[in-house]
Amino acid sequence: MLKGFLQKISNRYASKWLVLLFDASVVLVTFFFAYLIRFNFKLSFDFEVFIKQLPIVFITALISFLLVGSHKGVVRFTGFKDVVNIIIGANILATILISITYITRKLNSDSFFNLPGSIIYIHLLLNFLFLVGLKFTIKSLYRKIVTEGQIKTHVLIFGAGNSGMITYDAISGDAKSNLEVVGFIDDNQSKVGKKINLLKVHSLKDINEKFIQKLKVDEVIISIQNIEAARLLEITGQLFALKLKVKIVPPVQQWIDGDLSIGQIKEVKIEDLLGREPIEITNPILVDEYQNQVILVTGAAGSIGSEIARKLTNYNFKKLILVDIAESYLYDIQQEFNQKGITNFVAIVGDVRDKIRMNHIFNTHKPKIVFHAAAYKHVPLMENNPYEALSVNVNGTRNIADLSVKHSINKFVFISTDKAVNPTNVMGATKRIAELYVNCLKGKGHTKFITTRFGNVLGSNGSVIPLFKRQIESGGPLTVTHPDITRYFMTISEACQLVLEAATMGNGGEIFVFDMGKSVKIYDLAVNMIILSGLKFPEDIDIKITGLRPGEKIYEELLADGENTKPTYHEKIMIAKSKQLDIETVESKIITLSSVSATSQNLKIVSLMKDIVPEYVSNNSKFEVLDR
């Protein structure tokens, strides 16, 4: 019952005026102790004079603390800045008392307010001690009350520099946190062995099972800013081997209002090990671009389409139309938006291959911006089903692009892939043909056509990361098709921010590509994911080489033969300078390809694709016969 009462009281904040009154009262108590110390702990001073001095000291304390605003701080969250405020306030108080004493001595040496300098200085020191000490005592009691019964999590902070100290302050300043810092780790040998806030700085090589048992360490928080991916992997590998949980402090740019909170400290993710800086795009023009617009997203239930829709909810659009044939996933995004209180959207089950249905949607909702993300994307499946790849990736794109011209859409943004560059498979070829068709429409009507090319998207449906996670959960092995296979990666958030940026940046006819840094070796990615899971490679989980799948490349490209780039205002975004097209011939060939029937032979369909895209050379595929 007492515990419940204390917790109920602990949830209420003390009035700032109560805090001010408390601080001023403490000053009166320290004033009495200053007298006691000055007179060797004997009540041999003039008590009547002391009583007369108290109101002046009290009023002076109120003025001092009001000037610095120390009473506005929440006592349970007292931190370094609050301590500085208290010290400044105490110094102002001492300065005023000295000034009053000096003036009264000049005017009347027999005045009751004729304080000895020793009392003022003793009083100042006692104020430092009592005011700061009491605040931290109250903070400690509050923390004890709210965390009573919680199991303490003992943590080490990796990095004994500025970021490490900020991390320490964030943890110690959060009264409700069950984290307790028991030490620091640092690579700098000059810091090792020294103490910070009475906590010892250790070397990483000192962290072993005996050390962990001694300090009862549960996890390590890596607080080093701009740490290299290789070094991060090395550290996490060693710590995971000791069965420790590892978390990481985000880059300082992501801190909320410049301050770090415990909630921002997250577990290390595979994105942290990609070896490149996260791509940040902030463009105020986007606000105007989507202001009061009706926006259509095809493939809105997919990884990219749904994230584009989520990003768009940050802007004040008039209406958002979400179209997808996958009704279950579309239902999920619909429920997600409903829970967020988003009302100006509509979810429509529809197939981009059905031009009559799509035309009805355009007529009914009259969109002005279209993001076309609907596509079949799985390379091995499409290699065996070229007609389906053609019908969605080419014909579906043609339908939406043609309707965009017909209905005078302002901008049509096409989501392409790096697999469209010098394609070696059916899926990549169909996406390249769709790029070409979109390019053929440049200048036809009012619509501006813009294309964006992505690398692989981390965590998207069917991507390698979820596959590896499932394989790790089932005990392995992880399957990699070739030991040297590499891929470019970006996060879903980065990919979709690029789409929105491209829509703003594009004037029509451009193909935007990303500077995605170095490509990542899939074999290394598999090893990293095993380590991140706290397992050992190859002792716990091994990697099996399965051989390249039909149509699969060892490495991907972002530019086709004959393409180079020109820069944009953002250093990470470039425009591919494509070679000139014979638009009439290309468009005629695409229309011929689009007219093939579902009963057509696969060789015939792929042969027509290769005629349109001469650089399409099949790899590890039955369609290699067409290249001979």
SS3 (DSSP) at 148: coil
- For the stretch 473-532, pLDDT in tens is 888 899 999 999 887 777 777 778 878 887 888 888 888 887 666 777 888 888 878 877
Distance CA 571, CA 191 (A): 38
Following CA atoms 374, 379, 380, 385 in sequence, which dihedral angle do they give, to the nearest 10 degrees? 50
SS3 state at 110: coil
3-state secondary structure of 450: strand
| pLDDT > 50? residue 5 | no
User: Which pLDDT band, with edges at 50, 70 and 90, does 6 fall under?
Assistant: very low
pLDDT at 74 over 80: no
Domains 153-268 and 285-623 share a fold: yes
CATH of 153-268, one of 3.40.50.720, 3.40.47.10, 3.30.70.3040, 3.40.50.620: 3.40.50.720
Domain ranges for the chain, please list them. 2-146, 153-268, 285-623
Tell the burial category of 131 from Cβ atoms under 10 Å away from its Cβ (0-12, 13-18, 19+).
buried
Structure tokens at 169: 């302050």
What percent of the chain is helix, strand and coil (3-state, nearest 5)? 50, 15, 35
* Domain 285-623: which CATH number of 3.40.50.720, 3.40.50.920, 3.10.20.30, 3.90.1150.10: 3.40.50.720
Whether 120 shows a pLDDT value over 80: the answer reads: yes
Task: Read off the pLDDT of each residue in 288-298 and give the average, rounded to a whole number.
Answer: 94
Cα distance between residue 455 and residue 302, in whole Å = 16
Question: What's 180-228 look like in SS3?
Answer: EEEEEECCCCCCCCCEECCEEEECHHHCCHHHHHHHCCCEEEECCCCCC
Q: How far apart (Å, rounded) are the C-alpha atoms in residues 370 and 411?
A: 6
What per-residue confidence (pLDDT) applies to 260?
Answer: 58
| Single-letter amino acid code for the residue at 366 | K
Closest CA to 388 of 612, 613, 606, 587: 606
Percent of the chain scoring above 70 in pLDDT? 84
**Residue 271 CB coordination number (10 Å):** 17
DSSP-derived 3-state class of residue 61: helix
CB 485 within 8 A of CB 542: no
- The region of weakest confidence among 45-49, 211-215, 414-418, 612-616 is 45-49
Distance (Å, whole) CA 161 – CA 141: 29
What's the alpha-carbon Rg for the chain, to the nearest Å?
34
How far does CA 19 lie from the centroid of its chain? 38
pLDDT surpassing 80 at residue 60: yes
Most confident of the following: 157-161, 194-198, 240-244, 378-382: 378-382
Question: How far is residue 557 from each of residues 421, 481, 511, measured CA to CA in Å?
Answer: 6, 18, 14
Is this model's pTM higher than 0.75 or not?
Answer: no
Give, in order, the Cα–Cα distances in Å from 274 to each of 251, 526, 588.
Answer: 15, 12, 43
The rounded distance, in Å, linking the Cα atoms of 231 and 236 is: 9
Residue spans of alpha helices (H) in 340-460: 355-365, 379-384, 386-389, 397-406, 426-440
Residue type, 330: L
Quote the DSSP letter at residue 13: P
Q: In this structure, which amino acid lies at residue 24?
A: A
Average predicted confidence (pLDDT) for the chain: 83
Q: Which residues pair with 156 in a beta bridge?
A: 183, 220
Supply the pLDDT for residue 1: 44
The helix or strand, by DSSP H or E, that contains position 369, with its residue range, turns out to be strand 369-372
Res 261: pLDDT:
57
Residue 263's pLDDT is: 61
Burial 66-102 (b: 16+ CB within 10 A, else e): eebebbebebbebbeebbebbbebbebbbebbeebbe
> How far is residue 375 from each of residues 324, 351, 395, 397, 560, measured CA to CA in Å?
10, 11, 10, 9, 21
Range among 90-94, 113-117, 316-320, 562-566 rated most confident: 316-320
Q: What is the pLDDT of residues 322-354, one digit of tens each?
A: 999 999 999 999 999 999 999 999 999 999 999
Active site residues: 419
Q: What angle do CA 296, 597, 329 make, to 5 degrees?
A: 35
Q: What angle do CA 259, 263, 267 make, to 5 degrees?
A: 115
The pLDDT assigned to 609 comes to 97
Q: What is the pLDDT of residues 133-162, one digit of tens each?
A: 777 777 667 666 655 656 678 999 998 888
Cis check for the bond before 250: say yes or no (omega within 30 of 0).
no
What is the model's pLDDT at position 20? 81
Task: Please indicate whether residue 466 or residue 541 has the higher confidence score (pLDDT).
Answer: 541
Pairing of strands 411-417, 448-454: parallel
**Pick from 5-19, 104-118, 487-501, 578-592: least confident:** 5-19
- Residue 36 is classified by DSSP as H
- Partnered with residue 450 across adjacent β-strands are 413
ω into residue 477 within 30 of 0, thus cis? Answer: yes
Residue whose structure tokens are 């770090």? 260
Residues 571, 515: contact at Cβ < 8 Å? yes
Least confident segment among 81-95, 100-114, 453-467 = 453-467
- Cα dihedral 183, 188, 189, 191, rounded to 10, equals -50
